[in-house]
Amino acid sequence: MDDRHHRRRQHGGFVWPIVLILVGVMFLLNNLGLIDIVTWDSIWQLWPLIFVAIGLDGLLRRNEIVGPVIMFGLGGVFLLSNFGWLNWNAWDTLWRLWPLLIIAIGLEIMVGRRSVWISILGVAVIFAALFGLLWLSGIGPLGGQPIQSELIDQELGDAIRAEISLSPVVGEMRVDALEDSNALIAGEVSVGRGRQVWSNYKLQGTTAVYSLGSRNPVSFPGNAWDWRLGLSPDTPIELEASMAAGDMDLDLAEVMLSGLDASQAVGDLSITLPAGEALHGDISQAVGQIVIYVPEDVSVRVEISKALSSLTVPSDFVERGDYYYSPGYESSDTLIDLDISQAIGNIVVRYQK
């Protein structure tokens, strides 16, 4: 018994020392200037291997099945997403495979923790089933719910400015500028059957206050919900957009945007900003990818708050602490100030083409 316990500890004891050694070597080379910024950013994208290391430690040291399945799965998805081999909105499909965790728990109760080889076999079976299901589904929606569509058409009326709030729960949302300046917002919303779309409009003085969202008794990622909306191009708009999981594309280049608050839990968030107006934007995301397209002829300041995220900004931006400045920021009258925060994923700031 003691010999077996001793062998198990030795068997799993190499994982974390190797991780620490590799991390120490990378930081040392970076501190000595032996790794350029591009190489360091590429290496930093490998951070999901920490999940893999945790999974290996649980598999080899404690003969677990459930823990390694979760850690290997998270590490693999984050790693593939970091290098662009898997869209962040693929989480929408992967989430629907959560019953595999129940299978893993059953395997661990039945055969796990008896030997490392049985545990390895159990993990292999789970991932074989995972890849098989993803292959059969084409990494797309597995069935989904029937879809119903609802037209959105709200006139601007006597308003000369607007505050708009958009809050889909899951799915895809595309927002751009309308050609018709008489409408405040127009488009089409498609949601799963049984879900309700609600809207509210009121005129406060000369300000139109409009909200659009969905009521969902139970919401799960994987429902094929599609929001296609256009905003007035000639009215100053403060826009608030929030989403739990999915793909959010805000093409606001032709919108008179006076303020922006965009938030997302998991997914892809893409924002194209307008030129010619001073603007402050708050952009936040828990897990996924944020891509911001800024006009090249407008001065930009970006404040970055991140945990396990890679960051890419234009080469002519100047870094000062947590802030990044475009050329000529201090002397410009037209400014864009952005506060971007993310826990895990990628943050990219690019000039518009």
The CA distance from 92 to 199, in Å, is 26
| pLDDT value, residue 219 | 44
Q: Are 267 and 242 in contact (CB under 8 A)?
A: no
pLDDT band at 10 (very low <50, low <70, confident <90, very high): very low
C-alpha–C-alpha distance, residues 268 and 246, integer Å:
7
Nearest-CA neighbor of 77 among 98, 91, 92, 97? 91
344 Cβ contact partners less than 8 Å away, ≥ 6 residues apart:
78, 286, 287, 288, 307, 308, 309
DSSP annotation of 86: S
DSSP 8-class letter at 139: S
CA-wise closest residue to 282 among 340, 350, 334: 340
Closest CA to 40 of 26, 19, 59: 26
Residue 140 has pLDDT above 60, yes or no: no
At 222 the pLDDT is 42
Burial (CB < 10 A; 0-12, 13-18, 19+), residue 161, is middle
Max distance between CA atoms of the chain, in angstroms, equals: 83
For range 83-109, the mean pLDDT:
64
Against a cut of 0.75, is the pTM above it?
no
Query: Rounded to the nearest 10 degrees, what angle do helices 66-82 and 116-137 cross at?
Result: 50
With beta carbons less than 8 A apart as the criterion, state whether 286 and 265 touch. yes
Residue 164 has pLDDT above 80, yes or no: yes
A 10 A CB-CB count for 179 gives: 9
At residue 267, the pLDDT reads 84
pLDDT band at residue 133 under the 50/70/90 scheme: low
> Closest by alpha carbon to 63, among 2, 107, 127?
107
With 0-12 / 13-18 / 19 or more C-beta atoms within 10 angstroms meaning exposed / middle / buried, residue 187 is buried
Q: What is the pLDDT of residue 221?
A: 42
Torsion of CA 314, 319, 325, 326, to 10 degrees: -30
